[in-house]
């Protein structure tokens, strides 16, 4: 009697939902496996944050509807954090909007900007939510190649003229999921110039800004002129391992912040106020937590890289984030084929590169979301090469 809408039919099954379905099947069969697929760390959120959440949830005022703009004290904490971390000055009333996790905000952004015939430009490989956001808003989606030969940075000059003319949003994400690379300042400046020239909104997803191992990643808002054309997304999910809390923020161009706020006022009723209080505690007091978090992921990275080398892998990227982006062994031509091999022969669940877009083919993504002791000797035999 009922069927999917035309827009929904354009989307393949959500990548991580499909992986979850396969994991359910394995569990039902009693198969023990190592899950390196989804970016949901096993590390607990800061203890004081969890304790404060429990206390704050009991306050009657926090059990009522929340303001869609977020608590003033949360916006003040975000303003302070952005200033301290990136030296970016923001108006807490017009340039900052707390959101129910960045996935929600990324998805709702096109709803306020897209008209019939408009394009959304998404990176490939890239987070599947960007493409889904465009499709569900009725946009035409152009997949922007991130190629290994260009260090996974897009060649903006090669975007077709028609796409540039009709594009409303360009999604970019650095430090990048899944490739792990960071963007140099020179490219960020190029991206801002490109968007100013073509009147395209630059939606810069900076969810992994604090998961780095060497040089600190920048904010797009540090680039001259960026506030005219860009907004930036931040996530407490990745920064403080608060994935289930569902809280993050959008900041930057005030017109876009206002547009997104209007969309959200019609589709949700704000963030649970106790979660907002917990976020304030994280932003204000948990700098040592971040130092230890990076140390933990660095140790896991080194452990898994050693394991992958011993198993026969020869090319991988692990510059930042908590992933390793590995090139398929030569004997495998399909990332889906290889992920199936890993699951069936090695009892390892990893994410096929093609799931991040057609230009992700030829790679597999491993998540550093289990203890380092579980990342040694995970292969029963050498991978066929």
Q: Please compute the mean of the pLDDT values over residues 170-180 and round it to a whole number.
A: 98
pLDDT category at 23 given cuts 50, 70, 90 is confident
Looking at every residue in the chain, the average pLDDT score rounds to 94
- In this structure, are residues 195 and 171 in contact, taking their beta carbons and an 8 Å threshold? no
- In this structure, are residues 189 and 197 in contact, taking their beta carbons and an 8 Å threshold? no
Structural domains in the chain, sorted by start: 6-44+288-375 (3.90.1150.10), 47-286 (3.40.640.10)
pLDDT category at 38 given cuts 50, 70, 90 is confident
Percent of the residues in the chain that have a pLDDT greater than 70, as a whole number = 98
Residue 360 CA to residue 179 CA, distance in Å, equals 9
Residue 162 CA to residue 293 CA, distance in Å, equals 44
Angstrom CA distances, 333 to 15, 32, 55, 223, 379, stand at 20, 27, 53, 40, 20
Angstrom CA distances, 363 to 208, 329, 349, stand at 20, 9, 14
Its sign, for the CA torsion 352, 355, 360, 362, is positive
In terms of residues, how long is the chain?
Answer: 385
pLDDT category at 338 given cuts 50, 70, 90 is very high
Question: Which pLDDT score, from 0 to 100, does residue 218 have?
Answer: 98
pLDDT tens-digit series, residues 68-100: 999 999 999 999 999 999 999 999 999 999 999
Q: Is the pLDDT of residue 170 over 80?
A: yes
Place of tokens 């998540």: 367
Q: State the Cα angle at 146 between 140 and 149, rounded to 5°.
A: 150
Q: Is 101 helix (H, G, I), strand (E, B) or coil?
A: coil
Contacts 24+ apart (CB under 8 A), 138-141: 138/7, 138/114, 139/110, 139/114, 139/168, 139/169, 140/166
79 sits in which H/E element = helix 72-86
Q: Please compute the mean of the pLDDT values over residues 173-194 and round it to a whole number.
A: 98
Return left, alpha or beta for 175; rule: phi > 0 is left, psi -120 to 50 is alpha, else beta. beta
Q: Please compute the mean of the pLDDT values over residues 1-28 and round it to a whole number.
A: 78
* Higher pLDDT, residue 30 or 173: 173
Q: Which residues pair with 252 in a beta bridge?
A: 231
Question: Which pLDDT score, from 0 to 100, does residue 12 have?
Answer: 75
* Higher pLDDT, residue 253 or 341: 253
**Residue 309: how many other CB atoms lie within 10 Å:** 11
pLDDT category at 159 given cuts 50, 70, 90 is very high
pLDDT category at 267 given cuts 50, 70, 90 is very high
pLDDT tens-digit series, residues 197-216: 999 999 999 999 999 998 99
């Amino acid at each position: 009697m009922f069927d999917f809408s035309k827009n929904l039919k354009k989307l393949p099954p959500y990548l991580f939902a499909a992986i979850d379905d396969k994991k359910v099947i394995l569990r039902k069969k009693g198969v023990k496996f190592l899950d390196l697929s989804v970016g949901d760390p096993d590390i607990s959120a800061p203890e004081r944050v969890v304790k404060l959440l429990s206390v704050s949830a009991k306050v009657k005022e926090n059990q009522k509807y929340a303001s869609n703009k977020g608590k003033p004290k949360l916006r003040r904490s975000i303003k302070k954090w952005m200033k301290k971390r990136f030296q970016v000055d923001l108006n807490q009333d017009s340039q900052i909007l707390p959101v129910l996790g960045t996935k929600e905000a990324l998805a709702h952004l096109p709803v306020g900007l897209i008209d019939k015939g408009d394009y959304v430009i998404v990176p490939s490989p890239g987070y599947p939510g960007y493409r889904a956001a465009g499709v569900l808003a009725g946009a035409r989606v152009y997949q922007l190649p991130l190629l290994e030969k260009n260090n996974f940075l897009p060649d903006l000059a090669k975007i077709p003229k028609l796409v540039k003319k009709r594009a409303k949003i360009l999604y970019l994400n650095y430090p990048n999921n899944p490739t792990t690379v960071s963007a140099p300042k020179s490219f960020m400046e190029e991206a801002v110039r490109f968007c100013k020239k073509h009147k395209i909104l630059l939606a810069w997803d900076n969810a992994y800004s604090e998961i780095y191992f060497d040089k600190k990643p920048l904010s797009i808002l540090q680039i001259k002129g960026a506030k005219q054309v860009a907004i930036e997304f931040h996530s407490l999910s990745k920064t403080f391992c608060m994935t289930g809390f569902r809280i993050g923020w959008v900041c930057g161009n005030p017109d876009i912040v206002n547009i997104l706020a209007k969309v959200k006022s019609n589709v949700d009723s704000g963030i649970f106020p106790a979660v907002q209080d917990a976020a304030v505690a994280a932003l204000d007091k948990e700098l040592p937590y971040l130092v230890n978090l990076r140390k933990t992921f660095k140790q896991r990275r080194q452990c898994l890289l050693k394991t992958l080398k011993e198993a026969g892998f020869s090319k991988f990227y692990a510059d930042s984030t908590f992933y390793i982006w590995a090139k398929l062994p030569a004997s495998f031509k399909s990332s889906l084929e290889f992920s199936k091999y890993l699951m069936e022969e090695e009892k390892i669940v990893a994410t096929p590169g093609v799931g991040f877009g057609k230009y992700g083919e030829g790679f597999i993504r491993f998540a550093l979301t289990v203890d380092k002791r579980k990342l040694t000797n995970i292969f029963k035999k050498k991978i066929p090469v």
